Amino acid sequence: MNRTLSTTILTALLIFLIGPFLIIVAASLSAGDTLAFPPQGLSLRWILKVFTVESFRDSFIMSMILAVGGTFVALLLGVPAAYALSRYKLPFGEVVNTIVTLPIIVPGIIVGLALLRYLVVPFSFSIGLALFLAHTALVLPYTVRVVSSSFNNLRSDMEEAAVLLGATRLGAFFKVVLPNIHSGILAAFILGFVTSFNQVPVSLFLSGPGVRTLPIDMLSYMETTYDPSVAALSALLALMSIGIVFLAERFLGFSRYV
């Protein structure tokens, strides 16, 4: 009886989690002219149309630049910060850790409004630069958190042994520490990329004429058009996220280290 109940609960949970995605996929394959479920026949025309919409292509490139570039810069800043916070007892370590974590705690709409009011307007930053800085700031907490966990799980005496055997502190970091936490860095990159690419509240405040991310462009498209194109694009983006995780597991051995 308990096993039957557990199976029923698990099935219901899977339906609850996967159900919306399946509905979107079904709607994207509709042959009708309006977004509807159940689909009015089956067709691939709306999936093919996604690749012909110029605004989708431009905003996709912008989102990719922000996600990849912002996550890369966040890793450059977050890995040293995580190392210092996990290896040394800094005088204001807890304060720094709290400040770094704030973008996760504070709602995105407040972060976007604050960045617009106190960063973009006073310093007259361009829209592209403001978006890049905002996405980097949003990804940084995830980088510090995930990489810090990897540092905490790595025995510090491995690094000390390398130093005792003649390696410099910097050399021990690159030759001993980094190879042993590469799974954490990979996890931080994937999490940061997905977070940045799908970011809506902050991008909504900082987007402008000619510079928009893909989620914001999708919202604007739905204001004037109610065809299944957005559902098709949403399904493709979800499949892209699944593909990124699958490739990381398949070729980089992600599942063996986490």
pLDDT tens digits, 177-218? 777 888 888 888 888 888 888 888 888 777 767 778 888 888
The span from the CA of 252 to the CA of 207, in Å, is 35
Sequence-separated (6 or more) residues with CB below 8 Å from residue 154: 177, 180, 181
pLDDT tens digits, 231-241? 888 888 888 88
Query: Given this model, what pLDDT does residue 253 score?
Result: 58
Query: Given this model, what pLDDT does residue 257 score?
Result: 42
The span from the CA of 155 to the CA of 160, in Å, is 9
The span from the CA of 116 to the CA of 133, in Å, is 11
- Model confidence band, residue 256 (pLDDT cutoffs 50, 70, 90): very low
Query: What SS3 class is residue 255?
Result: helix
Query: Given this model, what pLDDT does residue 215 score?
Result: 84
By CB atoms closer than 10 A (0-12, 13-18, 19+), residue 72 is middle
Mean pLDDT on 7-24: 81
- Model confidence band, residue 252 (pLDDT cutoffs 50, 70, 90): low
